[in-house]
Structure 1
Amino acid sequence: MPHRGRRRLGRRRVLGGLGLVLTVGAVVAGLVQATPSPSPSPSPHRLDPRIASIMRKPTYGHAQWGLFQQNPDSGEVVQSRYPDQFFIPGSSAKLFSVSGTWHSLGSDYRFVTPVHAVGRRSGPTLNGDLDLVAQGDLTLGGRTRKDGTVAFTNVDHTYANDLPGATLTPQDPLAGIDQLARQVRDAGITRVEGDVVVDARLFRPDPVLRPTPTPLIINDNLIDLLTSPGAGPGAPARLEWRPKVAPYRVTSTVRTVASGSPANIHVNSSPDGTRIRLSGTIAAGSAPALRVAPVKDPNAFGRTALIEALKRAGVEVRAAATGPNPDYRLPASYRSAPAVARYSSPTYAQYAELIFKVSHNLGANLGICLMATRTGSSDCEDGFPVLAQFLDDAKVDRKAVQLADGRGGNPVDRTTPQALAQMLTYWQHTSQAERFRRSLPILGVDGTLAGACRDCPSRGKVFAKTGTVAGGDALNDRLAVGAETAAGYLETRKGHFDVFFVGVNGASTSGADVTGVLDMGNDVADIAARLQQDAAGRG
């Protein structure tokens, strides 16, 4: 029986994302540090003194480290420090939620989004409506490369308001919508006398899951705002934005200032989100600065986007392009309403890679809702029993895991190092082992680990989901780092991998600058690299 009516916990937002090395799983104030165990469990192998020196840094004076490394084939425990204690996982918790969704849907599952013609056809005229039936497709073609894979950048646009260096993928966010519109035209429809409606009945958005998944998602429910410096100090900055859908309008008063200054750009939106204003400064000669604004009504946005795409494809729609989504017009079923267009997504394994590589919070939360739909439920809460059953079947100690979302961002989320190792061990013993492992960020290569250890011997030999939880310590004018974690696989020799967890809870930076958090991320990555090198040396 799913738990109903979860109480929403108040949170003061401090930063929405942290780190080029470790992307945040959550940013919360009032973090609760895990209660220390009486003493750490002894490790069978002596701890590398270089690892011990990292853990003894002054910044970790009041913190607690957890460490676990195990051979998943023999069961030999290589390193162990508080393996059964609860730790705040941050985005390492995505290993549980994405695994459950992957298992529930299947790695090769594709989301097929149809458009139905509801009404009577009279030659090229549809006397009725076109209904786009949303299926929970995470990207709807907006990141799909020509080879069918899903594109990502190491610092994703979903973190653009919080992280320096966020960039866009080159794909058109409206690619799937345009493809559906062309298919409608190819089906012989050139005029729609009724309306265009988004059918979002697949599941009800759950506001406890933040960011909140919706059945229809275009461009991660965001407007991208790219500011470039003008010709010189004092000149207006240049602005590009996408996707351009009515009635959204963007204006900018950002000015160019002398070179060497960081971008200081603020984004403000009207209550309905359709009027966006940028203000602030950008330095002359600097790289473009990306910001994002939320799409507050994804269904109305998607409806307008499809009407405009139909017009580009040569299909006239009688109804006004803008306005609320008229879902009151939806039929009880589509038995007598043929599909005149279908968009097929990349495989779920491709989406899992995107979620893992960039720590995609919306995609991880979406998985909870998708697991619910597999039971016939439209209540996202019903995804948790599906996840619970999967963890039981995978021989993960479910009582050693606490989750209230899919992203690892709820204040109650906890896991033990050993539970994460059990999850990783499950995959290592399946036919999907390599596919799952390579979907994780790879040290020095891509995703949230791209910037770490680029020239060290462990480059390309550590595969791990990272996590960060941080909030403002107003009393001491610094950042409280509830968690920096990494969990995944260490290549001990060719074709052989240990599972591992390394993480710290309860650390603090020396100031309010995000640099201290980035340094902690590098420390965790360095420890993972040392574990890999030590294991390879023993092998």
Structure 2
Amino acid sequence: MPLSVTPRPARRRIAGSLGVLLAVGVVLIGLIQAAPSAPRRELDPRIASIMRKPDYRHAQWGLFQQDPQTGKVTQSRYAGQFFIPGSAAKLFSVSGTWHTLGGDHHFVTPVHAVGQRRNATLKGDLDLVAQGDLTLGGRTRKDGTVAFTAIDHTYANDVPGATLTPQDPLAGIDQLARQVRQSGIRRVEGDVVIDARLFQLDPALNPVPTPLIINDNVIDLLSTPGAGPGAPAGLDWRPKVAPYHVTSSVRTVAAGTASDINVSSSADGTRIQLSGTIAAGSAPVLRVAAIKDPNAFGRTALIEALKRAGVEVRAKAVGPNRARQLPRSYQGAPIVARYTSPSYAQYAKLILKVSHNLGANLGMCLMATSKGSTDCEAGFPVLATFLERAKVDREAVQLADGRGGNPADRTTPQALAQILTYWQRTPEAQRFRTSLPILGVDGTLADSCRSCPSRGKVFAKTGTAAGGDLLNDRLAVGAETTAGYLETRKGHYDVFFAGVNGAATPTADINGVLTIANDVSDVAAYLQQQAAGQH
């Protein structure tokens, strides 16, 4: 399969991604075949039974399990071969960002008053200097922790069952506006400008990170069924910022019918239309639409928030973000408001629990800015240096993004075990381990193995890569993987990988992909039970 390669000043990058992404992942572009190394422990017959299913007739399974304290390997199958990792690759990018910034790092987003103050009037601009804060107050609980759901709203258009956290996505913007008012400013004669010069946009990262992020750069669209068949569906959406406007022609159909809701947007993204059907008596159905100009959106959101806080801005709320009038520096321009984020460890937990693609790609840009670069590609050498220090075999890892969504992304099971082993030897071992989805408890593993003996004893990052097989009218699952920790006895954890590349579903229904994901979760559970002496 040909790849599109884009020259860059420092090196050549694979640009773009192939196929339809479901949950987290990339498209299968080939497998390396090799004879599996002999396992150290007899394979649990329940695992062998899963591997023999028809869905895996042409697939390659990989297994690896090791005690990080003694180095003893108890399972090894294709452990030194490249696998498509899907979002298991986030273990590398999040680890690198965590190490670079520090788990207790907080993003402080300031608003500067640029111009002259005369009593309560600012004859000049308010400039919000974006710092790469992933949530800017959204999702944030009063205790500073970050809320998440089992299926994140960013996946609402692809994965059924996505839900919202209750927190206001404009909470940080509102807090900044109130602080401006508390500083004594009541009127701004100039404009409000978003300073997004922290880093350049990199289209090779998909989704593209932006220095200013509000509500993950999406509008949430929630449809609820009407009173009965034929009735219009109810509609709610957030965050409500001008000039974004949402209309719906979704109709209610008979109970038990599958809901089918589609989203379309105008070229600039500000006119959003929902169409389709929703089943009577069903749960609300969430969809999302992209915010296509995050800076203009943020500017309008802040002007509207200032108005709510009692600060008048002379400039019109709806309009372009006039970045050309930003100053070279803010020397002499006082800070009149600042928003302080939760710790990066909280953001890492969000990224790993729900497989947050934007947050994982953002990490590459943040690693770049830590070295004074505005080019997100400069984050890769930072990550490479960290992996070497963490004693991860760099040549056993291929990454072209932070999320595990580029067709070039590859890793061996052993390399994943190495990064997991690194964390076990640090003071933050527990904080990192509990940032991963927990089997039967939360994150992407919340709905797996809820009543099995391994519930709460498997901590692992999952990865899914799937695309349409048009030839056979089904879904091809390039990868379904999981990597993390197995609690083999109280306080003792083996590192492990379990995954399959090259599986296929019987139909084009996403439920086939979810079945394969459950199989991989079951394999992880059986590994844990076997290691703990439970059969």
Q: Does the alignment reach a TM-score above 0.5?
A: yes
TM-score (norm 1): 0.97
Corresponding residue for residue 3 of structure 2: none
Matches within 5 A, 1:39-438: 39-438=35-434
CA drift of 1:307 comes to 0.1
Corresponding residue for residue 15 of structure 2: 8
2-side partners of 1:305 and 1:402: how far apart? 39
Tell me the SS of whatever aligns to 2:115. strand
Structure 1 2/358 Cα, relative in aligned 2: closer, same or farther at 3 Å? farther
CA drift of 1:27 comes to 4.5
Which amino acid in structure 1 is aligned with residue 161 of structure 2? G
Corresponding residue for residue 36 of structure 1: 33
2-side partners of 1:538 and 1:5: how far apart? 50
Contact kept? 1:230, 1:284, Cα under 8 Å: yes
Q: What percent identity do the matched residue pairs reach?
A: 76
Which amino acid in structure 2 is aligned with residue 330 of structure 1? L
Contact kept? 2:233, 2:252, Cα under 8 Å: yes
Contact kept? 1:187, 1:340, Cα under 8 Å: yes
Structure 1 50/447 Cα, relative in aligned 2: closer, same or farther at 3 Å? same
Tell me the SS of whatever aligns to 2:278. strand
- Is 506-515 or 485-494 further displaced after alignment? 506-515
Which amino acid in structure 1 is aligned with residue 18 of structure 2? R
2-side partners of 1:27 and 1:259: how far apart? 35
Tell me the SS of whatever aligns to 2:179. helix
Contact kept? 2:26, 2:404, Cα under 8 Å: no
> Which of structure 1's runs of 4+ aligned residues deviate more than 6 A?
none
Corresponding residue for residue 21 of structure 1: none
Tell me the SS of whatever aligns to 2:13. coil
Tell me the SS of whatever aligns to 1:341. strand
- Alignment of 1:26 with 2:25, yes or no, is yes
1-side partners of 2:300 and 2:520: how far apart? 46
CA drift of 1:33 comes to 2.7
Contact kept? 1:230, 1:236, Cα under 8 Å: yes
Contact kept? 2:245, 2:270, Cα under 8 Å: yes
1-side partners of 2:417 and 2:534: how far apart? 21
Contact kept? 2:17, 2:26, Cα under 8 Å: no
Contact kept? 1:2, 1:382, Cα under 8 Å: no
2-side partners of 1:469 and 1:299: how far apart? 31
The CA deviation string for residues 435-483 of structure 1, in whole angstroms up to 9 with x for no partner, is: 0000000000000000000000100000000001000110000111100
2-side partners of 1:217 and 1:168: how far apart? 17
Contact kept? 2:68, 2:424, Cα under 8 Å: yes
1-side partners of 2:468 and 2:419: how far apart? 32
Which amino acid in structure 1 is aligned with residue 124 of structure 2? G
Tell me the SS of whatever aligns to 2:32. coil
Which amino acid in structure 2 is aligned with residue 63 of structure 1? A
Contact kept? 2:349, 2:436, Cα under 8 Å: yes
2-side partners of 1:7 and 1:406: how far apart? 13
2-side partners of 1:538 and 1:525: how far apart? 16
Tell me the SS of whatever aligns to 2:283. coil
Q: Which runs of 5+ in 1 are unaligned?
A: 18-23
Contact kept? 2:458, 2:487, Cα under 8 Å: yes
Structure 1 190/148 Cα, relative in aligned 2: closer, same or farther at 3 Å? same
Instruction: Tell me how many residue pairs correspond in the alignment.
Output: 528
CA drift of 1:205 comes to 1.0
Structure 1 538/229 Cα, relative in aligned 2: closer, same or farther at 3 Å? closer
2-side partners of 1:118 and 1:138: how far apart? 25
Corresponding residue for residue 520 of structure 2: 524
1-side partners of 2:246 and 2:511: how far apart? 31
Which amino acid in structure 1 is aligned with residue 284 of structure 2? P
Structure 1 9/209 Cα, relative in aligned 2: closer, same or farther at 3 Å? closer
Contact kept? 2:17, 2:407, Cα under 8 Å: no
2-side partners of 1:70 and 1:494: how far apart? 16
Contact kept? 1:4, 1:381, Cα under 8 Å: no
CA drift of 1:58 comes to 1.2
CA drift of 1:5 comes to 4.9
Corresponding residue for residue 515 of structure 1: 511
Structure 1 497/10 Cα, relative in aligned 2: closer, same or farther at 3 Å? closer
The CA deviation string for residues 118-166 of structure 1, in whole angstroms up to 9 with x for no partner, is: 0000000000000000000000000100111000000000000011110
Which amino acid in structure 2 is aligned with residue 468 of structure 1? T
Matches within 5 A, 1:440-479: 440-479=436-475
Contact kept? 1:69, 1:77, Cα under 8 Å: yes
What RMSD over aligned residues (CA atoms) do the two structures have, in Å? 1.2
2-side partners of 1:473 and 1:438: how far apart? 36
1-side partners of 2:24 and 2:242: how far apart? 33
Tell me the SS of whatever aligns to 1:173. coil
1-side partners of 2:228 and 2:198: how far apart? 51
CA drift of 1:88 comes to 0.3
CA drift of 1:3 comes to 3.8
2-side partners of 1:420 and 1:10: how far apart? 23
